[in-house]
Amino acid sequence: MQNINRTDYWQKIYQQKSSDSVSWYQQQASGSFQLIKKSASCLTDPVIDIGSGASVLVDQLVDAGFSQLSILDISAAALQISKHRLAGACKDIEWLVDDVTQFTPSRKYRVWHDRAVFHFLTIEQDRRAYVAALKQALMPGGYAVIATFSIGGPNQCSGLPTVQYDADKICMALGDGFTLLDQMTENHITPAQSTQSFSYFRLKKNS
């Protein structure tokens, strides 16, 4: 993401396109939801969704009874779409407009979820900032659920370059302090009917 203003870029995406037409749109965020449920010990565990955009994942978590949700995105327009869709059900959700590479968590979380943010960080400095925020945000023994394009998957998305990951590469990027527990692959069908290969990784922060 060199030479662009990230906030302006993503704000325009959500102002100019409908939320169900972007390539990462899902009718149900099944993979993410399953891994978050597997990681949470109870419905009161604090969960943060990084780069939520206008994803329906938050709806699924609310419907399942999760009561301590923080939803972070760089685009205020994206979060406004989710707030409008959820209506009264969003009153207890913490909404955070921030760039994850500049995010300073004010609390600890049991689960950190990210689908399709980390693979946009093509600069090492940004990846380091992301990992620093992740480590600061997660409580000891907490879980990171991170989904990226798989090796051999798309090398760009929404006009921006991406980095593809497998298990070894994600562990190397996150560095010491995490244990990989689960990995799964998902063939995501975009609204334009193309296929994108995603890899989901569930990691535990070492105590």
**pLDDT single digits (tens) 143-168:** 999 999 999 999 999 889 999 999 99
Q: Is the dihedral of CA 86, 54, 198, 177 positive or negative?
A: negative
**Per-residue pLDDT band at 177 (split at 50, 70, 90):** very high
| Helix 167-174 with 124-137: angle, nearest 10 deg | 80
Residues in the chain: 207
Report the pLDDT value the prediction gives residue 50, as an integer from 0 to 100: 98
Per-residue pLDDT at 188 exceeds 60: yes
Q: What are the angstrom distances between the C-alpha of 34 and each of 49, 53, 147, 155?
A: 14, 19, 13, 26
Per-residue pLDDT at 1 exceeds 70: no
Helix (H) / strand (E) element for 96: namely strand 94-97
Report the pLDDT value the prediction gives residue 93, as an integer from 0 to 100: 96
Per-residue pLDDT at 203 exceeds 50: yes
Diameter of the chain measured on Cα atoms: 44
Per-residue pLDDT at 30 exceeds 80: yes
Tell me the pLDDT of the chain averaged across its residues. Answer: 95
Q: What percent of the chain has pLDDT over 90?
A: 89
Whether 77 contacts 109, CB under 8 Å: no
Per-residue pLDDT at 106 exceeds 60: yes
Report the pLDDT value the prediction gives residue 88, as an integer from 0 to 100: 80
CATH class of 6-205: alpha beta
Helix (H) / strand (E) element for 172: namely helix 167-174
